[in-house]
Amino acid sequence: MSKLIVALEQIDEGAVNPGTGMYEQPIWKITLKGQEERLLGKHKMEEYISKSFGKAIHRFKRWKVLTKTSETHVYVIIFSDRTHEMLTPNQLMDSLYQGHSVRNDNRLDYIDADLAAKGGKSPIFIPEENDKEV
C-alpha cells in the first residue's frame, strides 16, 4: 500500500478477507492510485489507524451525518487511553496510508501488543454478561 489511497468504501454486508480466508462483516475496500483495489479487515484497519496516531484503538465506527441538504459520513475513533478523534473519509484514508508506511517501525511494537491484549474485549467498558438464568 505504498500507493496513495484514492477511495474507501465500507462494505456493511461483509466479504471474505483475502488475508485470512474468513468472512468478515463489515470489511473495507480501498482503491489505490492506479485503480488497484484491496480489502482490509477490522484488524488491519485498527493496526494502521493505531500506528498513524501512535496509540492503540479501542473502537472505531462510521457515522452518518445528515443536514437539511446533504448527507456525509465521518469516522469516530476512540483510543484505549480514552481520547478520541473524528475523521472525514479523506482524513481516514491519509491515516491508513501513514499507518501502513510505519507498520514495521520497531518503535511502534507496543501498539501491536496493546491491540493483541485487547483480544476483542473493551479495556474501557467492562460490564460482563452473566449467562446464568435468574
Do residues 34 and 102 touch, judged by C-beta distance below 8 A?
no
- Delimit the domains of the chain by residue range: 5-118
Per DSSP, helices labelled H in 1-82 are 42-53
Q: Give the model's confidence band at 119: pLDDT under 50 very low, under 70 low, under 90 confident, else very high.
A: low
pLDDT per position as a tens digit, 37-74: 999 999 899 999 999 999 999 999 999 999 899 999 99
What global pTM score does this model have? 0.81
Return the number of other C-beta atoms located less than 10 Å from residue 31's C-beta: 16
For residue 59, what is its C-alpha cell?
Answer: 473502537
